[in-house]
């Protein structure tokens, strides 16, 4: 699904790693870990086509338009934008050819699945951080894209929200959706995500989450 060839990324003239090569199979579930500033978030942006690599290229088995969803950290969202929670979630239908009735039913179900029922008309500025994060994740549930790039999806979530997150991540994995997830909770990575991409200044290592986390007991990730 994702093929990175001779890839370097970062600020112009300041690559974060040497040239790296790795491949993520279709339907794979992969965590991205590494020290602060190692380039985890910017790697997702490069794969999403939102940021140009310094060298090399990223090849996807499907076109970026309509085939991937990118969940950015919520601080990049303008909470003053005058839309309701329901309108934010419904944006996941972008490009959908489903009938209005089917979309109405799916929207109702996904709001229930993410424990957002009763908050439909609440403006973004009135949402807690956890409510907003669940709304952003609910939008992904409606998008039906085969590739999900998630930058710290667990941020701001309480215990219930995190349980819902991992439940959906496993469901998306069972559906065959390819997921690349930046996560700083190493215990959760060890428990829920079988494969990890560790980014270091010397390059990238792709392998078993249990093995890589065991080898990097002092890795600080964010």
pLDDT per residue over 181-220, tens digit each?
999 899 999 999 999 999 998 889 999 999 988 766 444 4
Same domain, 93 and 200: no
Position 50 pLDDT exceeds 60: yes
Same domain, 85 and 185: no
Predicted pLDDT at 57? 93
Same domain, 155 and 218: yes
CB count in 10 Å sphere of residue 6: 12
- Domain carrying residue 129: 81-144
221 found inside a domain: yes
Which residues have a Cβ under 8 Å from the Cβ of 171 and sit 6 or more positions away?
A: none
The percent of residues in the chain predicted with pLDDT above 70, rounded, is: 95
Same domain, 94 and 135: yes
Residue with tokens 């991205």: 32
Average pLDDT over all residues of the chain: 91
pLDDT per residue over 107-164, tens digit each?
999 999 999 999 999 999 999 999 999 999 999 999 989 999 999 999 899 999 999 9
Predicted pLDDT at 79? 84
CATH of the domain at 42: 3.40.50.300
3-state helix, strand, coil in the chain (%, to 5): 35, 25, 35
Predicted pLDDT at 218? 47
Position 2 pLDDT exceeds 60: yes
Predicted pLDDT at 216? 62
Name the token pair of 4: 């990175």
Count how many domains the chain has.
2
> DSSP letter at 6?
E
């Amino acid at each position: 699904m994702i093929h990175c060839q001779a890839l370097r990324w970062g600020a112009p003239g300041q690559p974060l790693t040497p040239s790296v090569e790795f491949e993520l199979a279709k339907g794979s579930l992969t965590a991205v870990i590494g020290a602060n500033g190692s380039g985890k978030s910017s790697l997702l942006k490069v794969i999403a086509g939102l940021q140009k690599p310094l060298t090399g290229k990223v090849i996807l088995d499907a076109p970026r338009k309509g085939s991937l969803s990118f969940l950015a950290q919520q601080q990049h969202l303008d909470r003053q934008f005058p839309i309701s929670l329901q309108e934010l979630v419904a944006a996941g239908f972008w490009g959908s050819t489903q009938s209005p009735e089917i979309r109405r039913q799916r929207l109702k179900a996904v709001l229930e699945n993410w424990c957002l029922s009763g908050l439909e008309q609440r403006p973004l500025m009135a949402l807690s951080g956890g409510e907003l994060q669940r709304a952003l994740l609910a939008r992904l549930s409606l998008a039906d894209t085969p590739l999900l790039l998630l930058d710290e999806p667990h941020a701001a979530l309480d215990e219930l929200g995190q349980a819902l997150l991992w439940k959906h991540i496993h469901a998306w994995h069972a559906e065959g959706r390819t997921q690349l997830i930046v996560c700083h909770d190493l215990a959760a990575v060890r428990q829920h995500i079988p494969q990890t991409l560790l980014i270091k200044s010397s390059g990238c290592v792709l392998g078993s989450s249990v093995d890589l986390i065991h080898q990097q007991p002092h890795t600080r990730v964010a």
